[in-house]
Structure 1
Amino acid sequence: MTPLLVSIAIGTLGSILLHLTFRMLKSDWPTSYSDMKTVVDSASQRNAWLYVAMRFVPVYVVSVLVASMTNSAEANPFIALTVCAVLHICRTNLRPSVLRRVFRSSRNRPRYLAAFFSSITFIVLATFLASKTWSYWESLLPEPDQLVQAIWTSLFVGLVVVLVRSIGTFENNLDAQIKRALDDLGKSLQKKIREEALANKVSADFIEAIVLTECIQRPKWVRRAEYIKGRFIAPGSYGVAQVSSSSPISDEMSIELICKKYAGYYPVQNEYGSYNQTLLRVALESHNPDPIFVDQAKEILEARRSDIVESSSIWAEDGRKLIEVTHLRREGQEWVIVLTHSPDIDGLCMTTFARDGGEEESCIDRDIQEGTRSQNEIRLSIQVRKVEFKGVDTKNSTQELDSLTLDLEDPHID
């Protein structure tokens, strides 16, 4: 192999070692170098010198090893160090997701640019310093053969650690667990939960949280094993809802039974929409008293509920406000408003107030299954400064049930 190829190979090896080093540090320094927002926030909130050290020291140490190995192989240390630094920069700062965040217009752009260019500067400085000082560390480094063996061992161990940590991160990530549980549950059973919750006037979100938690803790293969066991030892917990039964039952039947058990129940909320944690825990414990189950079900219930931008004042039978705005954003010259309203309201009227003083009234069509909560997306001109929604009883159109006013001149809305 020519000295040039040896130099490139050693430089590439160094960049891989750097990548594994940062990946192994990922849990203590979230998403290490790839997520510029996390890096900047971490550095500014805790210690700016930590950011400098995490960028400079690993690059310097690996660059010293690369220069020593290249010199021992009678290749060109300058080429090897250049390859190592360039590959490391491409793998970190020049990733498309990082470039989009750094160079797009935003109020944090100066901070991102500062972090972006300072990190490149640290990499270049560390590489340059290593090229000038690596020989001073030569007496502390092992013999070339031992050094190569040690690096290969480190790479192997690093790959194993990164793999195990990635698997662990997946298992500890609530969003990933919920997605896995939803896939396990399937669309038809998700629909079954909504239908049975509606029929029994129980919170569908509450029932869904219980079922998803059971799917996480008892995946499909475990439930199948329990069902087979039930043919010989009948009493047990069965179905996606893990309902106690004297004999095996289907997933659909378990959903029906748990909805009947909690018929009429909606988690108690305060005026700000937060659940009463004590009463919620008591309700969950009546299904499964295991503290781990209860904590996870509570987390899932909170994670699955929609963020409420604004809501009316009156509570509906489903445990939510009669009218709720769940999303508000601007798209070009339009406001996009997503709102839901309870089946307790027969109709919904809207009044818009323009900046030029004009007012316009209209009705919002209800095109959803009777008895379920309606969701509508409304688009309004950017010239609308305020919009008011009113629930109306269609049998008595003069009776106003509830109302919600949304101020579109709120300075926090962009």
Structure 2
Amino acid sequence: MVLVVMSATLATFLRGQLAGLIPEIDDILIAVWAGLFASLFLAAARYLMASRPLQADELTEGLVKDIGLDKWEYISQAAKEHGADGDLLRAIILAEVQQRPRWFRRLERAKGLVFRAGTYGIAQIAASKPISDKESVDRLAESFAGYVVPRTGDHWESVAALRERLMRHNPDAAHIDRITLMYELLGGFTIADDYELTDEE
């Protein structure tokens, strides 16, 4: 009790001098959210590293289940409406969902109630406030409207050109590796012989 009284008295006398050391409430909330996301990401990473490697079919099946069959089918509709490559949109979304599963996207939406701007939906589209999964698909399809992946037969003519275009969606090289591999898996196209994946993860 004596310590509490002494601490309160000391804090009263020194509050002016200590004001600069006490962060604003917004900064505290941001730090709490950052810590929460970091903890959850670490837990998920440990779980994935401990799990056995998934086969391609198992991987896509699990990701499609996470997305939801109705939204998976909606991607084709959005691609058709905007003249976009459906397989490319699906590859982007599979890679995004692999990085941010449903439980993580729910946390992002909850965070969006306080800190509005962020990336949202299964397509992880930047927005000034939370948007729905289908709206994120629509915006992704619109951003890739009219884009055709250059290819000849079962080979892409220019992987570099595809990667350059994907950079506008997400500049992370390792993430683009995941997208191109998903696209190969979905479309049955082979990565050019002179192309090597980056070592980044």
Q: TM-score, normalised by structure 2?
A: 0.66
CA contact (8 A) 2:154 2:188 kept: no
Match of 2:14 in 1: none
Point out the structure with the larger strand share: 1
Q: Which runs of 4+ in 1 moved over 3 A?
A: none
Give the counterpart letter for 2:124 in structure 1.
Q
| Number of corresponding residues | 142
Give the counterpart letter for 1:259 in structure 2.
A
Larger relative contact order (Cα-Cα within 8 Å, sequence gap ≥ 6) = 2
Moved more, 246-255 or 185-194: 185-194
**Percent pairwise identity:** 30
Deviation at 1:285, TM superposition (A): 1.2
How far, CA to CA, are the matches of 1:304 and 1:296 in structure 2? 12
How far, CA to CA, are the matches of 2:69 and 2:150 in structure 1? 28
State the structure with more CA Rg: 1
How far, CA to CA, are the matches of 1:285 and 1:176 in structure 2? 27
CA 192–165 in structure 1, closer or farther in 2 if over 3 Å, else same: closer
Question: Over the residues paired in the alignment, what is the CA RMSD in angstroms?
Answer: 2.0
CA contact (8 A) 1:198 1:204 kept: yes
Give the 5 Å matches for 1:56-95.
none
CA contact (8 A) 2:75 2:89 kept: yes
Match of 2:181 in 1: 299
CA contact (8 A) 1:178 1:216 kept: no
Deviation at 1:219, TM superposition (A): 0.1
Q: TM-score, normalised by structure 1?
A: 0.33
Match of 2:162 in 1: 280
Structure 1: where are the runs of 5+ without partners? 1-163, 308-414
Deviation at 1:175, TM superposition (A): 3.5
Among 182, 190, 204, the alignment partner of 2:72 is 190
CA 213–165 in structure 1, closer or farther in 2 if over 3 Å, else same: closer
Match of 1:211 in 2: 93
Match of 1:168 in 2: 52
Give the counterpart letter for 2:51 in structure 1.
I
Give the counterpart letter for 2:134 in structure 1.
E
How far, CA to CA, are the matches of 2:60 and 2:69 in structure 1? 14
Give the counterpart letter for 1:183 in structure 2.
K
Give the counterpart letter for 2:147 in structure 1.
Y
CA 175–229 in structure 1, closer or farther in 2 if over 3 Å, else same: same
Deviations 1:159-209 (A, max 9, x none): xxxxx9872323xx4443222111111211111100010010010000000
Point out the structure with the larger helix share: 2
CA contact (8 A) 2:83 2:145 kept: yes
CA 279–231 in structure 1, closer or farther in 2 if over 3 Å, else same: same
